[in-house]
Amino acid sequence: MENKTVIGFIGAGNMAYALIKGLLSDGFEAKNINVSDANLELLEKRSSELGVTTYSDNVSLLTNSDIVVFAVKPQVLSVVCHELKNKASSDQLFVSIVAGIKSKDINRWLGGDFALVRTMPNTPALFQSGVTGLFANELVNDTQKESVNLLLSAVGECFWVNEENLLDAITAISGSGPAYFFLMMQSMKQAAMALGLDEETADALSIKTSLGASIMATNSGKDSRTLRAEVTSPNGTTQSAIETFQDQNFEGIVAAATRAAYDRARELSQELGNID
Ligand SMILES: NC(=O)c1ccc[n+]([C@@H]2O[C@H](COP(=O)([O-])OP(=O)(O)OC[C@H]3O[C@@H](n4cnc5c(N)ncnc54)[C@H](OP(=O)(O)O)[C@@H]3O)[C@@H](O)[C@H]2O)c1
């Protein structure tokens, strides 16, 4: 992305903060970052900590930015878009990190056909360890795609899909996924305490084992099925545990849970998009 491209964030909350911090650490200049928010105290805080330019109204931010990032809660997005209605220029690029709201609904609220990238980051983005699913509508050109890729790469890895509906699948896997792993950590911690370990040790063992397994899966060059087979000696302790998981239909539970998240993402998308 050219360093003179001006990026404006509508909403100065947690995600905007993470993205801006990431951009700054990648060498993007604070003078080319704008932020607007309904909360003036928060704007003041962002300005003094990050050196970005702040606006108390979203229309001024729009007028002074090349790329506008929607970083507000889903319930607020239609209100924000209505404020901007018929005020954007045709060469502006919009990026939404707002969960669930489809590109056609955003463009309907903005009152035109604008180049728009919808993204689905996840919460580890707050620690620059996220994964983000992205979808570009047909008006987004390659240079714009590259700019958005750089923007979201500031908080983790990017995965593009060429059908917008696939963002619902991404929501069910990586969007909600951190909570699935937290549930596993919580269950392992409880199990460790039931086996006599103290709480602090139980907590550390479950978290660090999860981290170590992730690092191994990322760096070993082997798929998770192979890694699991390699750590499962015949008649050993791991085999006893894995067989118990499978007797209780572990894979079936994971498939049902992710399907439920996928169905709910589709329902929410429908409900939120129905607003005029
Ligand atoms: N947090 C995550 O890890 C994560 C992951 C994936 C996707 N997302 C998506 O990212 C979006 C932002 O999440 P977040 O966690 O950053 O939310 P957040 O911390 O609540 O930030 C949103 C900010 O927008 C402000 N706001 C409200 N109305 C506004 C308006 N009309 N104009 C300008 N600003 C306004 C809010 O102010 P008030 O607080 O005063 O209302 C708040 O400061 C959400 O749509 C969420 O779905 C977040």
74 annotated binding-site participant? yes
Check pocket membership of 61 for ligand 1, CB cut-off 6 A: no
Check pocket membership of 272 for ligand 1, CB cut-off 6 A: no
Boundaries of CATH 3.40.50.720 in the chain?
7-164
Is the pLDDT reported for residue 276 higher than 80? no
Looking at residue 130, its pLDDT comes to 95
CATH top-level class of 7-164: alpha beta
Between residues 207 and 276, the one the model is more confident about: 207
Give the pLDDT confidence of 161-172 residue by residue, as tens digits: 999 999 999 999
Check pocket membership of 119 for ligand 1, CB cut-off 6 A: no
Give the pLDDT confidence of 55-64 residue by residue, as tens digits: 999 999 999 9
Is the pLDDT reported for residue 3 higher than 70? no
178 annotated binding-site participant? no
C-alpha closest to that of 213 among 249, 222, 256: 222
Residue with tokens 């180049």, as numbered in its chain: 115
217 annotated binding-site participant? no
Check pocket membership of 6 for ligand 1, CB cut-off 6 A: no
111 annotated binding-site participant? no
Check pocket membership of 156 for ligand 1, CB cut-off 6 A: no
In this structure, are residues 162 and 135 in contact, taking their beta carbons and an 8 Å threshold?
yes
Is the pLDDT reported for residue 1 higher than 80? no
CA 14 to ligand 1 center in whole angstroms: 7
Q: Which atom of ligand 1 is nearest to the CA of 14?
A: 16
Element (H, E) at 117: strand 115-120
Which CATH number fits the domain 177-266, given the four candidates 3.90.700.10, 3.20.10.10, 1.10.10.60, 1.10.3730.10? 1.10.3730.10
In this structure, are residues 134 and 149 in contact, taking their beta carbons and an 8 Å threshold?
yes
Give the pLDDT confidence of 80-129 residue by residue, as tens digits: 999 999 999 998 999 999 998 999 999 999 999 999 999 999 999 989 99
Boundaries of CATH 1.10.3730.10 in the chain?
177-266
Please tell me the residue having the least CA distance from ligand 1 atom 17. Answer: 13
In this structure, are residues 37 and 11 in contact, taking their beta carbons and an 8 Å threshold?
yes
Question: Sign of dihedral through CA atoms 156, 117, 64, 16?
Answer: negative
Residue with tokens 């008006």, as numbered in its chain: 139
